[in-house]
Chain A
Amino acid sequence: DTGVSQDPRHKITKRGQNVTFRCDPISEHNRLYWYRQTLGQGPEFLTYFQNEAQLEKSRLLSDRFSAERPKGSFSTLEIQHTEQGDSAMYLCASSFKAGGSGEQFFGPGTRLTVL
């Protein structure tokens, strides 16, 4: 399967702990996105990378959140000092732009539960 993969699929943690999620995009895609989705809502944009450069961050991305994409390949999203409000599905997507707007293809998501 050559789609977007995310690890882990589920994460349960206690309030105050740090968590890290990984995303592996489709191999030829140079753009990578992180979104967050809560129950009954559509995904909300968090941040965007073109190759290794983080080009846009949402104001939803507080100082406790940090994302990286070393060498323009996989990406990690870290949440420090987790809060119960961080409980959500974290989705990664990738796209390849060559002129027009590239469709974003999503991974299966990481479901985070903060107790």
Chain B
Amino acid sequence: EDQVTQSPEALRLQEGESSSLNCSYTVSGLRGLFWYRQDPGKGPEFLFTLYSAGEEKEKERLKATLTKKESFLHITAPKPEDSATYLCAVQAGYKLSFGAGTTVTVRA
């Protein structure tokens, strides 16, 4: 069965303090690894898809990387508006299997 583990569960940062979130996974036949952002009371918002080890993608202050066993989401010089829960998911077949998420709080 596919397993996705995210760490840490929560992360409190000062504005401008860069950090990384970890997503480790076990899956048979990875078709893609996805990162989503979720704000309280809302549905997940798509950020990135990574398909193969060594791949990297960037969007504003976020950068996602992928190895054979884990993915990292790097947040560079975060701002308060980056506060959210970041979800990692793997796809094998049609469905996504999600981790529990990392809740990031950025203080001004």
Residues in chain A within 8 A of chain B (CB atoms): 4, 31, 33, 35, 40-45, 48, 55-56, 58, 91, 93, 100-101, 103-109, 111
Contact = CB atoms under 8 A, between A and B. Distances in A.
Given A42-B89, A42-B100, A56 B46 contact: no
Contacts of B89: 42
23 contacts: A31-B94, A33-B94, A33-B95, A41-B100, A41-B101, A42-B4, A42-B98, A42-B99, A42-B101, A43-B87, A45-B97, A48-B94, A55-B94, A56-B93, A101-B31, A101-B49, A103-B49, A104-B34, A104-B46, A104-B96, A106-B43, A109-B43, A111-B41
Contacts of A108: 42-43
Contacts of A35: 96
Nearest to A31: B94
A15 to B, nearest CB: 24
Interface string B61-86: 00000000000000000000000000
A45 to B, nearest CB: 4
B55 interface: no
A42 B96 CA distance: 10
Contact of A109 (B31, B42, B46, B94): B42
Contacts of B87: 42-43
Contacts of A58: 95
B8 interface: no
Nearest to B93: A56
B91 interface: yes
B36 to A, nearest CB: 8
A48 B43 contact: no
